[in-house]
Amino acid sequence: MKINISTAVIFCGGRGKRLKPITNNIPKPLAPVCGRPFIFYIIEQLISFKIKKVIFLTGYKSNLFKKKINTLTFLKKKIKFVFKKTPVNWETGKRLNNLKNINDKFFLLLYSDNLIYFDYFKYINTINPNKIINMIIQKKALAGELGNVKKINQHFTYSHKRKKNFTYVELGYSIVSKKIFKILNNSNSNFSLVLENLSKNKNLGCHKILNKYHSITDLKALKKSSKTILKFRKKNLKYLI
């Protein structure tokens, strides 16, 4: 079954405490990487994915974030931007539940502090449409982090806490079925807990990749990603923004 994805949803509302002092003045997605806001690289990638609409789930310094994104007026013919402002203290699960009236049967869900250049079209053509979520993962040794996903028999298990005996790391890209809104409620819970419950019910699919993982989670990751992203773009990607 071929799945058509035209909408991307991005979590953009966190305070970015681990990225201070940068986030004292700007929201984390606007942290500068090679002279440009990090979120610009994600938008650029989504255009290459043929995404037509991006929904930003904002919170912390949302007005500043919206103002910056709206400077990209020259992209209006390629992609539409929608901003859903939510309270700063809302967790990711509650932010996503705010979209329960979305029309798309499937959408791409991302975090605003992760970036992976990978074969997206291979990914969407190989996912299991019967799973509520199909996420991108890679081995923890390659990601350089403790794992939060492991495979038991033919099923993937997700943990909201990192564990030494978990083999894979979730990288923040997922194809999500609209069925997710039958599971979500208005409680102020983190989306990672939703993933954990989905895996218990065997509703979690995973697609493994070997591509480099870029992040701006903290100051160390931001410094590293500034080098790796620049190196990659010089070799592989045309500038769209």
Does a cis peptide bond (omega within 30 degrees of 0) precede residue 27?
no
pLDDT of residue 71: 94
For residue 100, what pLDDT is reported? 87
Nearest Cα to 179, choosing from 136, 148, 134, 137?
Answer: 134
Cα separation, 114 vs 11, whole angstroms: 11
pLDDT for 239 equals 64
pTM: 0.93
Domains belonging to the chain, first-starting first, are 7-135+172-178+215-236 (3.90.550.10)
The predicted pLDDT at position 189 comes to 86
> Residue ranges of the chain with pLDDT lower than 70?
1, 236-241
For residue 241, what pLDDT is reported? 65
CA atoms 82, 94, 181, 137: torsion sign: positive
Structure confidence at residue 237 (pLDDT): 59
d(CA 3, CA 84): 25
Residue type, 63: N
What CA–CA distance (Å, rounded) separates 216 from 223? 8
pLDDT at site 138: 94
| CB-based contact 98:57 (threshold 8 Å) | yes
Query: pLDDT of 93-106, one tens digit each?
Result: 999 998 988 989 99
Q: What is the pLDDT of residue 238?
A: 62
Under 8 Å between Cβ of 29 and 226: no
Helix, coil or strand: residue 209: coil
Tell me the torsion sign for CA atoms 169, 88, 107, 30: negative
